[in-house]
Structure 1
């Protein structure tokens, strides 16, 4: 996830200070990815160093206000115009855990799969309930929040299906005399 580009995009609306950016990011993404305020200010420092934002003084309450520069606006426009690179997939702790489980003696891989499936199904149920509640409420959630929930639902569904496949492969490996 590009915090850098997300903060630049939010600064296109209007100048803001760090805590406002954090709250606005979480509001617009349905709080699915909470930001550490230290991460926000570290990113703002780097953006300023790179000439993509500038400090506009303070808001009268002691908060340093940042605004996007022309170079920052160009960078965020390029970010929106381009696709997210899938060339280097992010590390997937579950896949790493299972890959190691099947290659190490004494690890009950079926138990590892079952434990993860329970967590993944629970997450799927929670996201689905949140989506139903958001869709059915009078003050329905905004489109951005619904998109994030839909993404989380699809990811959880895919994870459960993948765990089913892992379990089937383990059964097949045992049937063929494979380890673990």
Structure 2
């Protein structure tokens, strides 16, 4: 997820200060993508430079408050309206690792088993986190996505193993 757009989305709900944005971002993503507070303030500075947010004074405790600007709302609307293309996603390191293991004569079964165990642990952790998430729809959707991706990865690993066994 784009931190830039995530912060704009949160600010579209009303003015907020940096730490509040960090907490709400992490809560919205089920704690699966922790943010460093420095990332938040660096991103806010860039958003301000680009005219997408504006400082809105400070609260009673002296914390700087940020608000989304009209150009920021348009940017956010554009982001929501634009599908995420496969080319926008980073390279899949697991796919590359397995392809290189096959091409390099490495023990592919061992590589697949190591990954399968790690993916199964992640699936179990995500499932437990979903049960703890309670009523937060945003958190449950993020965790469902992680669960579905882990399940798909396990199916793909099974496919890779079957293909590797059939290879002579």
TM-score calculated relative to the size of structure 1: 0.85
Query: What is the distance in 2 between the residues matched to 1:48 and 1:85?
Result: 27
Unaligned runs of 5+ in 2: none
The answer to whether 1:155 aligns with 2:149 is yes
In the alignment of these two chains, the number of paired residues is 168
The answer to whether 1:110 aligns with 2:104 is no
Structure label with greater radius of gyration: 1
Worse overlay, 26-35 or 94-103 = 94-103
What's the secondary structure of 1:34's corresponding residue?
coil
Mapping 1:1-180, distance limit 5 Å: 1-105=1-105, 107-134=106-133, 140-173=134-167, 176=168
Moved over 4 A (4+): none
Worse overlay, 92-101 or 152-161 = 92-101
| CA shift for structure 1 position 133 | 4.7
What's the secondary structure of 2:91's corresponding residue?
coil
Query: What is the distance in 2 between the residues matched to 1:58 and 1:143?
Result: 30
Unaligned runs of 5+ in 1: 135-139
| Per-residue CA distance 1:105-153 (angstroms, 9 max, x = gap) | 4x3221111001001011112222333454xxxxx32211111111111
Worse overlay, 25-34 or 154-163 = 25-34
